């Protein structure tokens, strides 16, 4: 027997930056400022992330390219791995992802790749709490998603890989 199933994605869409609350605007601006730290001489496509921890600390990251593809790393993983290394027991409340290029106008929010989503899912599992993610298109729309399962419904999970207590 074949069962056809559906799932739905829940998110909020904002038409412009001014529609966001003050806290979201502030985090978006921090992500936008982090674009300056992007090392993207090959793609000229800068991506940055601002991650807010439960204690209010903000950690930023930006994409880091390398001539030996795929040795670079996405902005989201740079920021998340920094959180893991510098704040190992912190709880991530929310994060903003944004992008910029001089090559063309970005007209829609840029979303995460599958590898970054999987890393985000690991943080959610570790902290037993969903992460709110904003995809911020500078001078454009913003999407807000609560929890990685809305972005990666078939996230890889295998409890038997966890160390035994």
pTM: 0.93
CATH-assigned architecture of domain 11-157: 3-Layer(aba) Sandwich (3.40)
Q: Of these residues, 76, 107, 130, 162, which one is catalytic?
A: 76
Q: Which secondary-structure segment (H or E) carries 61?
A: strand 58-62
Q: Which DSSP symbol is given to 51?
A: E
Q: Which DSSP symbol is given to 31?
A: H
Say if residues 107 and 135 touch (Cβ distance below 8 Å): no
pLDDT of residue 161: 73
pLDDT of residue 164: 57
Q: What share of residues in the chain are helix, strand, coil (percent, to 5)?
A: 30, 25, 45
If the chain, 165 residues long, is cut into consecutive pieces of 10 residues, what is the mean pLDDT of each piece?
91 97 98 98 97 98 95 97 97 98 97 96 96 97 95 82 64
pLDDT of residue 154: 86
Q: Which secondary-structure segment (H or E) carries 62?
A: strand 58-62
- Distance between CA atoms of 82 and 29, rounded to whole angstroms? 19
Write down how long the chain is. 165
132 is a catalytic site residue:
no
The contacts of residue 49 (CB under 8 Å, 6+ apart) are 31, 34, 60, 61, 62, 75, 76, 78, 79, 80, 95, 96, 97, 98
- Distance between CA atoms of 138 and 87, rounded to whole angstroms? 29
Q: How many CB atoms lie within 10 A of CB 58?
A: 16
The contacts of residue 111 (CB under 8 Å, 6+ apart) are 97, 135, 143, 151
Helices (H) and strands (E) in the chain, counts: 3, 6
């Amino acid at each position: 027997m074949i069962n056809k199933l559906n799932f739905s994605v829940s998110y909020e869409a904002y038409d412009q930056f001014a529609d966001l609350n003050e806290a979201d605007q502030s985090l978006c601006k921090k992500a936008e400022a982090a674009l300056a730290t992007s090392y993207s001489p090959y793609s000229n496509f800068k991506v940055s992330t601002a991650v807010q921890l439960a204690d209010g600390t903000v950690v930023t990251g930006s994409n880091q390219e390398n001539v030996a593809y795929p040795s670079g790393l996405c902005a989201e993983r740079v920021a998340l791995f920094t959180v893991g290394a510098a704040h190992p027991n912190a709880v991530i409340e929310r994060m903003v992802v944004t992008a910029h290029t001089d090559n063309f106008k970005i007209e829609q929010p840029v979303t995460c790749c599958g590898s970054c989503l999987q890393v985000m899912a690991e943080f959610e599992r570790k902290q037993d709490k969903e992460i709110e993610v904003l995809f911020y298109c500078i001078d454009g729309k913003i999407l807000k998603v609560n929890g990685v399962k809305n972005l990666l419904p078939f996230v890889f999970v295998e409890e038997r890989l966890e160390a035994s207590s």
